[in-house]
């Protein structure tokens, strides 16, 4: 028995191709956000990613922003806190 695989479209018909743009919030700006703002940003990015075609330029940009945000949250978790760290 042979199966035929249907290719997954990169972008829907009629979609406009968008040039690559820099991330919305560069990693330097993420460092100045509060923990609550970072968590809210990650949730918003996750919702937006769920609506995009995998591999599309917007998906790649939001994926990068999501990884940067997650890395910043992890960095903060590892960082010693309080005056005893000095």
The number of folded domains in the chain is: 1
Note if the pTM is more than 0.85: no
Cα(17)–Cα(41) distance, rounded to whole angstroms? 25
Q: Which of 86, 1, 19 is closest to 57 using CA atoms?
A: 19
The residue that leads in pLDDT, 16 or 32, is 32
pLDDT exceeds cutoff 80 at 84: no
Answer yes or no: is 57 within a domain: yes
pLDDT exceeds cutoff 90 at 4: no
Answer yes or no: is 52 within a domain: yes
Q: Is 24 helix (H, G, I), strand (E, B) or coil?
A: coil
For residue 86, name the pLDDT band (cuts at 50, 70, 90): very low
- In which domain, by residue range, is 49 found? 27-76
Answer yes or no: is 50 within a domain: yes
Segments in the chain forming alpha helices (H): 27-30, 35-50, 57-78
User: Which residue's entry shows tokens 């760290």?
Assistant: 85
| pLDDT tens sequence across 19-58 | 555 544 556 788 889 999 999 999 999 999 888 888 888 8
Answer yes or no: is 33 within a domain: yes
Structure token digits, residue 80: 């010693």
| pLDDT tens sequence across 74-83 | 988 888 775 5
Answer yes or no: is 9 within a domain: no
């Amino acid at each position: 028995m042979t199966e035929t695989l249907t290719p997954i479209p990169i972008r829907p018909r009629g979609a406009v191709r968008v040039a690559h743009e820099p991330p919305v919030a560069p990693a330097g700006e993420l460092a100045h956000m509060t923990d609550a703002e970072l968590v809210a940003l990650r949730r918003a990015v996750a919702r937006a990613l769920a609506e995009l075609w995998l591999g599309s330029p917007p998906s790649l940009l939001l994926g990068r922003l999501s990884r940067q945000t997650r890395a910043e949250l992890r960095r903060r978790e590892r960082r010693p806190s309080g005056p005893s760290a000095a």
